[in-house]
């Protein structure tokens, strides 16, 4: 790589970094601050994770659906409530819920008994809507009860343009009834990542539960491909619905700098999350090279 850098101008290197064609390593030459990252998302923001300072944004205060990024708030409330060793029985309601929306699941079966901590891994790694449903009813008492807590927390955290109508981010009752903005999601992500347990879970690539009394064996793999594709990536959550498109709330650390970003609707493809990951890489290269 060093030999290539000698043959091209600093501006060309900056362009490659911003385009995401190369990954900026710690100590690499800084790209021009004027070179904006070339991302597909029309609703995005990159910020300093410590200070919250906006480093780059695009339509970041427009309200948009965000799919399963919603589960960050669900996890935040569960962790804040505590009692994570409590054993919860997976309810029958997960079957119709998952089937109605063709939701991603953690493979849970009604009647299984798992701890709240295990269910957090089941929700955040494979984006299990069945786990989100189970946690929401256990901690909220009902769908309405947990949603009230979510929206109250949004108000308390200053997420003035965020509303939740489903604890998984699924289009219930409509495609746009759960929504946020890139800027609000940056704020939510910063608050969530201050919880050591949540930060640990979203950085975990795989988590296994051995078969035991009341439950089967499970292995859950993290669906956030940025963790394997970008050195320094430490979280946090993917998202998709037809209206939201491919979404990703992400965080990465290199040296003493930690960046957090989000992209909404990087692509409309349900089968290929690479567009959101590529957008995140371009934004992080931009941020770390400045």
Domain boundaries, the chain: 37-289
pLDDT of res. 273:
77
Query: How many angstroms separate the CA atoms of 16 and 122, rounded?
Result: 37
Structure tokens at 262: 């989000």
Eight-class DSSP state of 21: S
Average pLDDT value over all residues in the chain = 89
Question: Residue 257 corresponds to which tokens in the numbers above?
Answer: 């700098």
Confidence class for position 32, pLDDT limits 50, 70, 90: very low
Rounded to whole angstroms, the Cα distance separating 235 from 225 reads: 10
Beta pairing class for 43-48 and 257-264: antiparallel
Residue in this structure with the two tokens 């501006």, named with its chain if needed: 11
Reply yes or no on whether 68 is catalytic: yes
Location of structure tokens 């997960």: 94
Per the CB < 8 A criterion, the answer to whether 202 and 105 are in contact is no
| Count of C-beta atoms within a 10 Å radius of residue 203 | 16
Active site residue 71: yes
Higher local confidence (pLDDT), 140 or 272: 140
Q: Which of 18-22, 89-93, 118-122 comes out lowest in average pLDDT? A: 18-22
Q: From the candidates 71, 104, 168, 266, which is the catalytic residue?
A: 71
The whole-angstrom separation of Cα 2 and Cα 80 is 47
Q: Could you say which of 41, 57, 68, 267 is catalytic? A: 68
Each residue of 108-154: pLDDT tens digit? 999 999 999 999 999 999 999 999 999 999 999 999 999 999 999 99
pLDDT at 28 over 80: no
Task: Of 180, 151, 199, give the one whose Cα is nearest residue 241.
Answer: 180
Nearest to 180 by CA among 239, 250, 121: 239
Q: Which residues of 33-59 are buried (b: 16+ CB within 10 A; e: fewer)?
A: eebebebbbebbbbbbbeeeeebbbbe
Averaged pLDDT for residues 85-103 = 96
Catalytic residue among 127, 165, 187, 266: 127
Q: Is 156 a catalytic residue?
A: no
User: What is the percentage of the chain residues whose pLDDT exceeds 90?
Assistant: 84
Looking at the predicted structure, is the pLDDT value of residue 15 above 50? Answer: no
**Phi and psi angles of residue 79, each rounded to the nearest 5 degrees, phi first:** -65, -40
Whether CATH 3.40.710.10 fits 37-289: yes
Q: Give the pLDDT of residue 134.
A: 98
Share of the chain above pLDDT 70, in %: 88
For 164-205, the pLDDT digits (tens) are 999 999 999 999 999 999 999 999 999 999 999 999 999 999
CA separation for the pair 64, 253 (Å, rounded): 27
Q: How many CA atoms lie within 13 A of 230 on its CB side?
A: 33
């Amino acid at each position: 790589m060093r030999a290539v850098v000698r043959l091209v101008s600093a501006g060309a290197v900056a362009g490659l970094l911003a385009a995401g064609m190369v990954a900026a390593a710690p100590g690499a030459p800084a790209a021009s601050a004027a070179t904006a990252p070339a991302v597909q998302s029309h609703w995005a923001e990159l910020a300093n994770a410590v200070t919250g300072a906006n480093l780059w944004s695009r339509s970041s205060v427009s309200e948009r659906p965000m799919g399963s990024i919603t589960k960050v708030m669900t996890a935040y409330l569960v962790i804040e409530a505590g009692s994570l060793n409590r054993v919860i029985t997976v309810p029958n309601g997960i079957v119709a819920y998952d089937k109605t929306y063709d939701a991603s699941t953690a493979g849970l079966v009604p009647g299984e008994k798992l701890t709240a901590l295990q269910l957090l891994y089941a929700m955040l790694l494979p984006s299990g809507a069945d786990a989100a449903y189970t946690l929401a009813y256990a901690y909220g008492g009902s769908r309405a009860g947990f949603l009230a807590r979510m929206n109250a927390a949004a108000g308390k955290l200053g997420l003035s343009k965020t509303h939740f109508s489903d604890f998984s981010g699924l289009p219930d009752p409509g495609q746009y009834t759960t929504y946020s903005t890139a800027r609000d999601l940056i704020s939510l992500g910063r608050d969530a990542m201050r919880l050591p347990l949540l930060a640990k879970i979203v950085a975990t690539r795989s988590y296994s539960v051995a078969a035991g009394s009341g439950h089967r064996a499970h292995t859950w793999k993290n669906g956030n491909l940025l963790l394997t594709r970008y050195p320094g990536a430490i979280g946090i959550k993917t998202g998709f619905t037809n209206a939201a498109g491919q979404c990703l709330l992400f965080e990465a650390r290199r040296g003493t700098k930690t960046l957090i970003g989000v992209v909404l609707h990087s692509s409309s493809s349900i089968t290929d999350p690479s567009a959101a990951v590529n957008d995140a890489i371009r934004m992080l290269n931009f941020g770390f090279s400045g």
